[in-house]
């Protein structure tokens, strides 16, 4: 079960990561294939069942016809034998004591018409008459010769059975060669034997044999059968083989024959029989006059041979439907996903800065509504950029240019350098340190026009800035800077800490007579660089905090440091969107804590 779940999860992952077009194609083709296979399989089963029933019905009809024909033939033989046995001339002949095997004695009793009668029956190949007193006569049409003595014949089981039947016909098969009553039998025969009853005394007075060649029976059912590949066999009442036509050599031993018997217990019908690893349809019927059973064995593979054309046709139809459905699926999926492709292409152009890109649409379906909303969004973004973003950029650019225009960096650096060396020459160490710190401040502030500087540069700036402020306020200002070495090489927007330090000095050191303490820390917290500026100044209320953190212009916020803090917040919002935090926590007379958190991935100095 776990393997099935794993397979399902893998398939679901692969399928859900496909394009919508491929998803639709696979979905349509799966449904169509499933339906086609069901319909194809159902049509195949129905066709095979119908064909099997049709073939079985034909076989049943043929077998019944063959059974009827054989029954009619046997009845004709029985009627003929009855006519001969009851003929007064034959009755007189079998009672004579003369023994003769030629036609002279038969002629003497006026039985020539009997020869004519027998000659008119094409299916009779041999006839013999025995009399209890020694008379005997035979007529052969197939070259069989030599009639054995009546006493010899009486020793055979056939005579014993005929004697018990008391004039009723007995049917059996005799092989070619030496038989119980024919010395030289030229062909296999189906023989009818019955005793001749004296019409006066009703006692047995002789015996009569009429034979039909087995080939006559075989020709009869071979002409009637519609399926030439059938194996046909005739069994007597004791399940002995009477006749067999076996093109596939299915019944090659007694075991094969015995395996069929349990499936043909009823008088008529059909059943499925397994022989030599193959299935056969056994169709059977009783022959009334002899109590024989005729059986036809039809291979199922022969029945379903004609089904191959149906299978090919069904497969061709399924394949044709599959191909047409595949082409239609591609066409429909392409039509359905075309608006999405156009929308995606437009988004890529917008991503590159082309905010004039729009997508045309014709229909008012879900895709059309999506495109409509997208076009409206692009219009709003373009309006927002034109009215706010560009305006702010121009404003900041103008402010920066104005600031840079007021200071000539080259002149400034040279002047500060000259003051530094004069102070050093005059051994005014404190003055030289202050000049050096001021020079570092200007260099980092300008930083060749760069917007991003390293954390190390920002830390140097704060340290030099506090050094100068420390000189100004002397023992009144104390500070600590704890920046982790792990973040020194990462880049951040410049001057994002100084405004908060300056705010702490203005509202702490300047306005309070007590000693002021400022702690600046920086560390790596998961995927963010976190700075904290903590002071013990007089603090501020929530309204002042909200005004400082507002991205909108506030009229009440007109101080320099307030403007600088708002500028930091705006720049962080511009650079990092919603992926940064600027939190100010403060209570009146209890100090202020500022926490700045910016993402690490966007801060690495490359």
d(CA 479, CA 516): 8
**Over the chain (606 residues), what is each successive 10-residue block's mean pLDDT?**
72 69 74 78 76 77 84 89 88 75 56 73 87 85 86 88 90 86 88 92 91 81 65 83 78 78 81 82 84 84 70 76 79 73 74 69 70 76 67 59 51 57 62 65 63 85 79 76 89 86 75 77 90 86 81 50 76 83 86 90 51
d(CA 378, CA 368): 15
Chain centroid to Cα 248, Å, comes to 42
Q: Tokens standing for 446?
A: 């300008």
SS3 222: helix
Q: How far is CA 80 from CA 75, 204, 209, 295, in A?
A: 8, 19, 11, 27
Nearest CA-CA partner of 596 in 586, 577, 583? 583
SS3 251: coil
Q: Residue 161: give its domain's CATH number.
A: 3.30.450.20
With 0-12 CB in 10 A as exposed, 13-18 as middle and 19+ as buried, what is 1?
Answer: exposed
Q: Locate tokens 């991935």: which residue?
A: 601
d(CA 437, CA 488): 20
CB-CB contact of 537 with 504 (8 Å): yes
Q: Residue 580: give its domain's CATH number.
A: 3.30.565.10
Residue 554 in any domain: the answer is: yes
Residue 391 in any domain: the answer is: no
Structure confidence at residue 209 (pLDDT)? 93
On the CB side of 100, CA atoms within 13 Å amount to 13
CB-CB contact of 168 with 291 (8 Å): no
Say if strands 491-493 and 278-287 run parallel, antiparallel, or are unpaired.
Answer: unpaired
| DSSP structural state of residue 21 | H
Structure confidence at residue 529 (pLDDT)? 92
Q: Locate tokens 């046995």: which residue?
A: 85
Residue 246 in any domain: the answer is: yes
CB-CB contact of 163 with 184 (8 Å): no
Three-state SS string over 300-338 comes to HHHHHHHHHHHHHHHHHHHHHHHHHHHHHHHHHHHHHHH
Q: Tokens standing for 269?
A: 């019908």
Cα angle 124, 128, 131; round to 5:
150
Cα angle 561, 397, 465; round to 5:
35
Tell me the pLDDT tens digit for each residue of 359-396: 776 666 666 777 777 777 877 777 776 666 655 665 56
Structure confidence at residue 251 (pLDDT)? 81
Q: How many structural domains are present in the chain? A: 2
Residue 186 in any domain: the answer is: yes
**Whole-model pTM?**
0.48
For helices 20-86 and 112-119, what crossing angle results, to 10°?
A: 170
SS3 219: helix
CB-CB contact of 512 with 538 (8 Å): yes
Nearest CA-CA partner of 73 in 167, 145, 171? 171
Residue 541 in any domain: the answer is: yes
| DSSP structural state of residue 261 | G
d(CA 348, CA 93): 121
Final residue before a domain boundary, out of 277, 310, 343 = 310
Cα angle 79, 191, 153; round to 5:
115
Bridge partner list, 274: 279
Burial annotation 401-423 (CB, 10 A radius, 16+ → b, else e) = eeeeeeeeeeeeeeebeebbeeb
| DSSP structural state of residue 514 | S
Bridge partner list, 296: 232, 283
Residue 531 in any domain: the answer is: yes
Final residue before a domain boundary, out of 291, 310, 329 = 310
For residue 557, give its domain range. 474-599
| DSSP structural state of residue 198 | P
Residue 352 in any domain: the answer is: no
Residue 412 in any domain: the answer is: no
Residues in contact with 388: Cβ distance below 8 Å, sequence separation at least 6, in sequence order: none
Structure confidence at residue 15 (pLDDT)? 64
To which H or E segment does residue 128 belong?
Answer: strand 124-131
CB-CB contact of 589 with 538 (8 Å): yes
With 0-12 CB in 10 A as exposed, 13-18 as middle and 19+ as buried, what is 458?
Answer: buried
Final residue before a domain boundary, out of 279, 310, 341 = 310
CB-CB contact of 435 with 470 (8 Å): no
Q: Locate tokens 């960096």: which residue?
A: 409
């Amino acid at each position: 079960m776990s393997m099935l779940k794993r397979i399902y999860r893998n398939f679901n992952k692969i399928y859900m990561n496909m394009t919508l077009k491929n998803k639709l194609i696979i979905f349509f083709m799966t449904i169509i294939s499933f339906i086609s296979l069901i319909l194809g399989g159902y049509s195949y089963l129905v066709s095979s069942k119908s064909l099997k029933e049709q073939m079985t019905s034909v076989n049943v009809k043929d077998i019944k016809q063959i059974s009827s024909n054989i029954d009619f033939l046997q009845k004709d033989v029985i009627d003929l034998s009855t006519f001969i046995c009851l003929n007064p001339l034959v009755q007189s002949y079998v009672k004579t004591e003369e023994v003769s095997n030629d036609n002279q004695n038969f002629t003497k009793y006026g039985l020539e018409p009997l020869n004519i009668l027998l000659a008119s029956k094409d299916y009779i190949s041999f006839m013999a008459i025995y009399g209890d007193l020694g008379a005997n006569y035979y007529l052969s049409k197939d070259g069989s010769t030599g009639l054995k003595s009546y006493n010899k014949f009486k020793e055979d089981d056939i005579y014993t059975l005929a004697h018990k039947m008391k004039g009723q016909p007995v049917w059996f098969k005799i092989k070619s060669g030496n038989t119980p009553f024919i010395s030289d039998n030229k062909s296999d025969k189906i023989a009818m034997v019955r005793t001749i009853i004296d019409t006066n005394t009703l006692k047995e007075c002789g015996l009569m044999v009429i034979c039909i060649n087995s080939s006559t029976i075989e020709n009869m059912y071979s002409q009637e059968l519609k399926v030439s590949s059938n194996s046909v066999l005739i069994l007597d009442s004791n399940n002995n083989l009477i006749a067999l036509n076996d093109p596939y050599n299915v019944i090659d031993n007694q075991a094969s024959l015995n395996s069929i018997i349990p499936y043909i217990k009823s008088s008529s019908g059909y059943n499925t029989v397994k022989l030599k690893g193959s299935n056969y349809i056994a169709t059977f019927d009783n022959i009334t006059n002899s109590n024989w059973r005729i059986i036809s064995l039809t291979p199922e593979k022969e029945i379903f041979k004609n089904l191959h054309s149906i299978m090919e046709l069904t497969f061709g139809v399924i394949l044709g439907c599959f191909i047409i459905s595949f082409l239609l699926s591609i066409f429909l999926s392409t039509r359905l996903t075309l608006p999405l492709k156009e929308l995606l292409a437009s988004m890529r152009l917008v991503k590159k800065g082309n905010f004039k890109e729009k997508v045309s649409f014709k229909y008012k379906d879900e895709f059309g509504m999506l495109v409509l909303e997208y076009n409206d969004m692009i219009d709003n973004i373009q309006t927002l950029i034109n009215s706010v973003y560009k305006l702010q950029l121009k404003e900041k650019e103008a402010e920066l240019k104005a600031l840079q225009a007021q200071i000539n960096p080259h002149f400034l650096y040279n002047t500060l350098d000259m003051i530094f060396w004069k102070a050093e020459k005059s051994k005014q160490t404190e003055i030289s340190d202050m000049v050096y710190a001021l020079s570092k401040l200007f260099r980092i502030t300008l930083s060749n026009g760069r917007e991003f500087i390293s954390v190390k540069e920002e830390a140097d700036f704060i340290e030099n800035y506090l050094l100068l402020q420390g000189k100004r306020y002397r023992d009144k200002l104390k500070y600590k800077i704890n920046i982790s070495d792990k973040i020194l090489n990462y880049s951040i927007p410049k001057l994002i800490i100084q405004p908060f330090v300056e705010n702490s000095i203005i509202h702490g050191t300047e306005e309070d007579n007590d000693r002021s303490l400022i702690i600046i820390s920086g560390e790596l917290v998961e995927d963010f660089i976190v700075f904290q500026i903590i002071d013990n100044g007089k603090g501020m209320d929530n309204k002042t905090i909200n005004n400082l953190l507002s991205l909108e212009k506030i009229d009440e916020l007109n101080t320099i440091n307030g403007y600088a803090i708002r500028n930091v917040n705006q720049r962080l919002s511009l650079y990092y969107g919603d992926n940064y935090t600027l939190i100010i926590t403060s209570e009146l007379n209890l100090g202020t804590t500022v926490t700045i958190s910016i993402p690490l991935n966007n801060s690495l100095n490359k």
